[in-house]
């Protein structure tokens, strides 16, 4: 069974052909309890109709996830940014910040709401250029099997050589603290052939030519490849028994479009 929270699970199928920028991962069999958290639906199955300036981080606990932020900037909160705008003001992007816009103009499937470190709170929304960390804590017993992050608006000409985007995980090992896997940057993981980066954008310029400036309005999928020096990845392409997953933007901005994980030990919600 595939569990989809929100409306965008099939976007990877409908998206333009991606470009694999690192060594290919093992062919992944579909897990039996796959969850794609895309921030368009909150607890109780309630659709989130509009942008949210400040989240508590408890809005997605029905899906086995609590979210916390450790921002670099003062006053920064977690927020949900509306990316379904075309960058021309029709309709307006959240905070008129059109570098997070998605849709046909940028060769991407519309991404709806995306999670950001909001540096414009409490009055507006803007992904904070000072960056910081976003941590996803998984509450199912034994954790989850983690698959991928999809990130938007990565301000790098080459997303494989990004020292300022970093990932870390805590693995459930039966102890109170868990097993902390060392933080590693995209650049380091790519150099170690421990990461695949897939371009999900067919972005073009105003004349319809391929746009070499892939930072603004970009859409990338980051998956992990087994390497004993970094993260242990199973044959299906998942890091097993993950208690928490963290993405850190080191003094750059960006957004999390979605994350994918399997819940083999999902705790049913009360009837």
pTM of the model: 0.85
**Maximum C-alpha span of the chain:** 57
Residues 191-222 pLDDT 10s: 999 999 888 887 666 666 656 555 677 788 99
Give the pLDDT mean for 36-51. Answer: 94
Q: Tell me, what DSSP letter sits at residue 15?
A: S
Burial class (CB in 10 A: 0-12, 13-18, 19+), 97: buried
| Cα gap 194→230, rounded to integer Å | 7
Q: How many CB atoms lie within 10 A of CB 62?
A: 15
Residues 113-154 pLDDT 10s: 999 999 888 888 888 889 999 999 999 999 999 999 999 877
3-17, 208-222, 232-246: least confidently modelled range? 3-17
Q: What are phi and psi of 212, to 5 degrees?
A: -75, -15
| CA distances (Å), origin 77, targets 165, 197, 217 | 19, 28, 22
| Cα gap 208→69, rounded to integer Å | 38
């Amino acid at each position: 069974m595939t569990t989809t929270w929100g409306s965008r699970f099939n976007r990877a199928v409908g998206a333009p052909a991606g470009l694999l920028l690192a060594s290919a991962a093992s062919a992944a069999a579909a897990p039996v309890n796959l969850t794609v958290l895309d921030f368009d639906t909150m607890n109780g199955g309630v659709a989130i109709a509009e942008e949210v300036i400040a989240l508590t981080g408890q809005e997605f606990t029905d899906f086995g996830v609590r979210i916390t932020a450790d921002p670099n900037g003062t006053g920064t909160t977690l927020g949900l940014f509306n990316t379904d705008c075309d960058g021309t003001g029709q309709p307006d992007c959240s905070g008129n910040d059109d570098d997070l816009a998605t849709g046909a103009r940028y060769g991407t499937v519309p991404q709806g709401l995306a999670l950001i470190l909001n540096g414009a709170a409490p009055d507006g929304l803007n992904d904070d250029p000072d960056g910081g960390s976003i941590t996803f804590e998984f509450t199912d017993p034994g954790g989850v099997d983690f698959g991928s992050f999809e990130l938007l608006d990565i301000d790098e000409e080459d997303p494989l050589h990004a020292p300022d985007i970093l990932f870390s995980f805590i693995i459930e090992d039966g102890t109170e603290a868990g097993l902390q896997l060392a933080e590693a940057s995209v650049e380091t993981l790519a150099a170690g052939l421990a990461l695949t980066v897939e371009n999900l954008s067919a972005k073009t310029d105003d004349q319809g030519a391929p746009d070499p400036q892939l930072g603004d309005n970009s859409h990338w999928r980051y998956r992990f490849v087994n390497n004993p020096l970094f993260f242990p990845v199973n044959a299906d392409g998942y890091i097993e028994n993950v208690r928490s997953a963290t993405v850190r933007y080191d003094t750059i901005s960006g957004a999390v479009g979605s994350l994918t994980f399997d819940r083999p030990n999902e705790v049913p919600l009360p009837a």
